[in-house]
Amino acid sequence: MINQEADTNPDTLRISIDAKATVKLGSFDRGGKTRVCTTASDHDFATQTVTPYGIFIPQTDELFMYFVSSKLTSDCMVDILPDWWQTFRPRMPQIQTLVINQDNGPENNSSRTQFMKRLVEFAKTNQLQVQLAYYPPYHSKYNPIERVWAVLEHHWNGSLLSDLDTAVQFARTMTWKGKHPLVKVVTQTYQTGVKLTKVAMAAIENQIERLTDLGKWFIKIAGPTEA
């Protein structure tokens, strides 16, 4: 119901966010098939990994993809949001509410103090109401972006992802409903384990609203115009 209301309200934009499983980079066999004759290494010599993180807009079938070489932390996820928003917002200046569909992961669940703190800051800075609509455990397949990751995996299939540039180029040439994604690389290194004290988190809780009986699954964060 929340998603339906968002999709019919011209002042609301719904996005679906999630990370794909971390990908090893190197000249080794990943399984799958390719039309190009390929020779892989005998052993897994991967020295680098990358985690694709996506923002998908179901209403317009647009995909924004970020390749993260650091740990995908709460800070990393929320740093990606304003980068995407500044790119997208000029097209829809009327948007006042952002509904975010996502899984209840360890770095982005509503009990993750640093994640909630950074989202409150994002909402205030951009004068947005942010609504978090989580999918419960074992229901992540209903998150729209999950279908996108399947397309990416099929696109690069058995090809050798020898380095970051190769993986990025594969991502840029994939299509979803006839559209190529906008792909960026995140090079910043993020510290893990950042969290708030109980006192600091109590102040954040005063700035958010948890839906009765669904406290950890649906959260409203008001921007400054609604505070």
The confidence score (pLDDT) of residue 26 equals 87
Q: How many domains does the chain have?
A: 1
Higher pLDDT, 222 or 171: 171
The model's pTM: 0.88
Residue 59 lies inside a defined structural domain of this protein:
yes
Each residue of 29-45: pLDDT tens digit?
A: 555 444 444 444 555 55
Q: Does residue 40 lie in a domain region?
A: no
Position 38 in a domain: no
The answer to whether residue 79 is domain-embedded is yes
Which DSSP string do the residues of 97-147 spell out, in sequence order? EEEEEEE--TTTSTT-HHHHHHHHHHHHHHT-EEEEEEEPTT-GGGSTHHH
CA distances from 152 to 149, 167, 198, 204 (A): 5, 10, 40, 37
**pLDDT band for position 160 (cuts 50, 70, 90):** confident
Count Cα atoms within 13 angstroms, Cβ side, for 123.
26
Is residue 187 assigned to a domain? Answer: yes
What pLDDT shows up at residue 137?
Answer: 78
CATH number of the domain to which 26 belongs: 3.30.420.10
Give pLDDT, residue 31. 56
Residue 39 lies in a domain: no
The answer to whether 157 and 34 are in contact (CB under 8 A) is yes
pLDDT of residue 138: 72
Q: Which domain holds residue 105?
A: 2-33+45-221
Asked if residue 226 belongs to a domain, the reply is no
Would residue 88 count as lying in a domain?
Answer: yes
Report the DSSP pairing between strands 182-186 and 62-68.
Answer: parallel
Q: What pLDDT score does 29 carry? A: 56
**pLDDT tens-digit readout, 123-158:** 999 999 999 999 987 787 889 999 999 999 999 987
**Cα separation, 26 vs 23, whole angstroms:** 10
- pLDDT at residue 43, as a whole number: 53
